[in-house]
Amino acid sequence: MTSQSQNNMIQEAIRAQKTREFFAAYPENPKAYAEDANQKGLEVFQKQLNQNFSLGAPENHSHWVGEEVSPYMMVGLGIRYPQYETQLLIDRAKNAWSAWKNTTVDERGSILTDALNRVSNRFFEIAYATMHTTGQSFVMSFQASGPHANDRAMEVISLATEELNRFENTVDWVKPMGKFDLKIHKTFQAIPRGISLVIGCSTFPTWNTVPGLFASLMGGNPVIVKPHPKSVLPIAIVIEEIRAALKNAGQDENLVQMAADTIDNPLTKELAQHKDVKLIDYTGGSAFGDYIEALPGKITFTEKAGVNSVILDSVADAQAVFGNLAFSTCLYSGQMCTAPQNIFVPSNGIKTADGHLTFDEVVAGICGAVKALVENPKMGPYTLGAVQNDLTVKRVDEAKTKTTVALDSLTVVHPEFHDARMKSPVVMVTDAADTAVWMHECFGPALFVVKTESSAQSLELAARAATELGAITCLCYSTDTNFCKQTTETMNAAFTPVSFNFTGAAFVNQHAAFSDFHVSGGNPSGNAGFTTPEYVNRRFVWVGNRYL
C-alpha cells in the first residue's frame, strides 16, 4: 500500500470517527480474503507449536518462557518466548525513543498503518492463535483479534492524527501596541510523556491491547507490551509485524517490545513500578486494576470488572427478546466484559404484545431459549466456544450453591475437539434483597434473574450496581417511552450507556469501532474508554516556546 493510500485510509477513518457512521477498514467476513488464506494460516499456526517465537530479537534474553494451553485440545502449545530483564527492556525503549519522538505525526500514522496492513496478511494465523489460547470460536477469534482489533487501532491512529494536528506548529504572533507592534515567533510541540506499559488480558489478547499500544505510539512514546502468560501468541504476531514496519521505515524495532513472563514469576509489578514507565494501560480484574490506578506518578488507562444489567419492563415480542438474551449470554460462554449478568424482572412479571407473562414464565422463557441454542448442534458449540480458565468454571459452580438453579449447565461436546473445556450458562434465580448473590461480578457462563418489586426498583438496582461496582453495558426492554427516558437519564448519570429493545442481529455484547465508545471511564469498570480524545491526549503534553 502506498503512502497516499495509507493517508486516504486515515482520512476515511477520521471522517467515520467524527460522524459515528458505520465504517470498517478491514472486512470482518473471512470470505473477503484470499481463498487459501485460511488453510495457510492454519499451517503456519501448526508449525509454530513447540517452537521458539523470537520476534526477530532473540539476543540477550535471560531464558525462554511459555505456558499457553489450548482450551480446545487441553494440551500445552509448547511455544516459548524470550524473556528479558526489566532494565534491558527499559534501556532499549529509551534508545529507540529519541528518533521516534522527533518523527512527524503523519509519518507515525503512515508507519503504523503499514503495520496494520501487514497484520491483516496474518489474520487467519492470528485467529487460530486466539482460538487456541482464549477459547473463542474460530469466527469470533478471526473477527475480534483480526479485523475488529485492527479497526480499533485505526480508530486510535485517526483520532491521534486529529488531536496532534489540532494546533499550528509555528506562528509569527503580532500584537498591535499603538506606535509599534510586538512581534514574537512561537512554536508549539506535543511532547511524549515517556515509556508506555500495556498489560494484556487472557480473553481478548489483541482487541484490548492494540488501542493503548497504538495510542502511545502515535503520541510518540515507546511501548512495552506485557501479555497475559496464557494468551501470548496473538499479540506476539501483531508485535512482530509492528517491529517489521518500524524496521522498514528505518526506525528502531525496539520502540515496541514484548515482556513475556509466567504466572508464578510475573514481571508486571516490577515493570509498572519502574520510575521510567510513565503510562500504563491495563485490562483485567478490579483488584489489580485498583493497584495500577493507585501507583504514584503514573498516568493510567484501565478496563476492570463490572456488573452489566438487563432491565425487563415490557416487550413487544417475548420470544425474540429471550432469543437475543440467550445468544448474548452464550456468546463465548459469557467471558466478555460486555456480557449481561443480572436480569432484573418485576415479581408480578412483564407485559408483552401477546399478553402478560408471570415472573416464572419469564424465567422459563429465558431458560428455554438458552437450552434451545446450546442444544442446537450447528450453533451451540460454536457460540459457546471454550472456557479459557479453570477458575471461571469453579467461580460459576460456587455461585450455584448460593442460589436457586433454574437451568444448570448442559453437557456440550465440541464436534471437532472432544476434550474442549466447555460449560453452558447456568441460569440462577434470586431475590433483589439477596445482594450477596448478585451484587458482584461472576465472570463467565452465569446469568442471575433477580426478582424485584417493580421496574422502578429494577432500574434503581441496575444504577446502584453500575455506580458501586461499575458497568460497561446495560440492556433495557420496555415499550413505555417514559420509562425508556427515565432509564437513559438514570443509567447515563451512572456513566453507563444503554441499549434498548435489542432483538435480531443487534447484541449488547458487541461494540463497533468508529461508532461505539467502549467503557465510559466514569464508573468503577474502568477510568478510560475506547476511544475519546482523552484516550490519546493524556499521552503527550503541549509545550509552547517563544522567540523575540
pLDDT in tens, 371-394: 999 999 999 999 999 999 999 999
The answer as to CATH 3.60.21.10 being correct for domain 309-500 is no
- Cβ count within 10 A of residue 121: 14
Q: Is it the case that residue 543 has pLDDT exceeding 70?
A: yes
Q: Is it the case that residue 448 has pLDDT exceeding 70?
A: yes
* pLDDT confidence bin for 58, thresholds 50/70/90: low
- Cβ count within 10 A of residue 51: 12
What residue ranges do the domains of the chain occupy? 3-304, 309-500
Q: In 318-477, where does DSSP find H-type helix?
A: 318-330, 359-374, 380-384, 390-400, 435-438, 455-469
| SS3 per-residue string spanning 453-475 | CCHHHHHHHHHHHHHHHCCCCEE
Rounded to a whole number, what is the largest CA-CA distance in the chain? 89
What does CATH list as the number for 3-304? 3.40.605.10
pLDDT of residue 236: 98
CA 545 from centre of chain: 38
Q: How far apart are alpha carbons 403 and 142 in whole angstroms?
A: 37
Q: How far apart are alpha carbons 445 and 146 in whole angstroms?
A: 24
Quick check: helix, strand or coil at residue 118? helix
pLDDT of residue 56: 73
Q: How far apart are alpha carbons 355 and 539 in whole angstroms?
A: 55
Looking at the DSSP bridge assignments, the partners of residue 314 are: 351
Q: Which residues contact 156 (CB under 8 A, 6 or more apart)?
A: 210, 211, 214, 215, 218, 530, 531, 535, 536
Looking at the DSSP bridge assignments, the partners of residue 428 are: 405, 448
Looking at the DSSP bridge assignments, the partners of residue 530 are: 518
pLDDT tens, 95-113? 999 999 999 999 999 999 9
Q: How far apart are alpha carbons 525 and 513 in whole angstroms?
A: 19
Q: How far apart are alpha carbons 299 and 294 in whole angstroms?
A: 10
Q: How far apart are alpha carbons 484 and 496 in whole angstroms?
A: 14
pLDDT tens, 245-256? 999 999 999 999
**Nearest Cα to 338, choosing from 438, 473, 202, 492?**
473
Q: Which amino acid is at 98?
A: S
Handedness of CA 134, 140, 145, 149 (dihedral sign): negative
* pLDDT confidence bin for 284, thresholds 50/70/90: very high
Quick check: helix, strand or coil at residue 255? helix
Q: How far apart are alpha carbons 500 and 489 in whole angstroms?
A: 13
Regarding beta strands 314-315 and 350-352, do their DSSP bridges make them parallel or antiparallel, or are they unpaired? parallel
Q: How far apart are alpha carbons 407 and 285 in whole angstroms?
A: 27
C-alpha angle 394-396-398 in degrees, rounded to nearest 5:
70
pLDDT of residue 1: 65
pLDDT of residue 209: 98
The C-alpha cell that represents 273 in the structure block = 513500578
pLDDT of residue 18: 93
Q: Is it the case that residue 135 has pLDDT exceeding 80?
A: yes
The C-alpha cell that represents 59 in the structure block = 539476543
Q: Which residues contact 413 (CB under 8 A, 6 or more apart)?
A: 381, 420, 422
Contact 267, 62 (CB under 8 A): no
Q: Which residues contact 411 (CB under 8 A, 6 or more apart)?
A: none
What mean pLDDT comes out for the span 139-167?
97
Q: Compute φ and ψ for 171, nearest 5 degrees.
A: -155, 140
